A and B are shown apart, each in its own frame.
Chain A
Amino acid sequence: MLTLEAILLGLIMGVFYGLMAFGLTLIFGILKVVYFAHGESFMIGAFTYSLLALWLGVPLWLAIPSAIVVGGVVGVIVERLLIRPLYEKFGDWQAMRDEYAIIVTFGLSLFLVNLANQVFGPYPFRGPDLTDVARFEFGPLIVGGHRLAAAVLGGAVLIGAYLFIQHSFGGKQIRAVAQNRFGASIAGIDTRMVSMLVFALAGGLAALSGALLAPLFHASPDVGVLPALKSFVIVVLGGMGSPIGSLVGGLILGVLESLGALYISYTYRDTYAFAILILVLLLRPQGLFGERAREV
């Protein structure tokens, strides 16, 4: 029975992970670089939601979309200021130096965490629960009320995002740029718009994840660091640039962590993700759904 509950909780966590990984895999798809500051979109969403609700009394149905919007806007700003030079100034972006991306986004991550610390102080904020129901009981299984409601909401948005990518015109443009940036621009696609769209989408989804988890994890400046690291693992596990990979990978990681925490060791639960990352990179670097590349 505990196992079943663990799997259920793992799937729920997987939805939240998926929200973060989805946007990140798209960023990888179009840019092929690490974006270390992704966790800060999560953090921004958590703070926006919590503070709007706690300090300004904004109702939940408004606070959640606000968090998404703020996350998206920040994503666009970052793209414009820091990411655009990656591909714009230096022509053929295949020759782009990874070091710039790593250092700039790593520096950005540190900057945002410390900025949040300076502005909000290190006190954690607990955003309000989505529902007043304390817990749902399905027979012997118990799931927290907010947790389940948040997972349902997050899951719906995630499915919506996936459908957007697969079937809408914007989504197809994104996929085209991911496959071949130069070719896509020749075909008339505005690659700059696509980049902004991707960053907005990624930022918004990560912010939603942060907002949904704020009542459980409490918003604090470094709350996004660990979810970001885990979303990297999921992106690699699922295959860099593969949207379906991020969904499946998220669920898999959530369940593995949950079962591992229960049966192997709770103390080291956060290391399982990293162990999985190393294994995947060594054994099957393209992940579950990624394309096999000549060089990784």
Chain B
Amino acid sequence: MYSRYSDRAGFYGVYIREAHPSDGWSMESNERAGIRIEQPKAAEDRVRVASQCCTALEMAMPLLVDGIDDRVGNAYSGFPDRLYLIDRDGRVAYKGGRGPFGYKPAELEQTIIMLLLEDMLHTREAQPE
């Protein structure tokens, strides 16, 4: 989706606290994939895990690292996963459900498309023929 729309929208990952750290609610699926990560306790640990994550997942979009006080993650209720689309005026046009089950990239894509469509309609209204 990033590669499809990145010329028309900004995409940013926000790396927040770990959902299933080895010292918390650990998950077998992570162990199977060879991922064992402790909950970062200091800002530089979090940056390090974020970089690890970025490399492992071959992420193309820029990854922002939340403060160790979780200020942005909390302000957006982002934990454990959530998607947002913010329109060009800075207003929320899509607030995804809480992940993992509410994580629906397809819904986000529909909303992106319709936001772009709305722009096209406005452009047309603004300059008729």
A and B: partners?
no
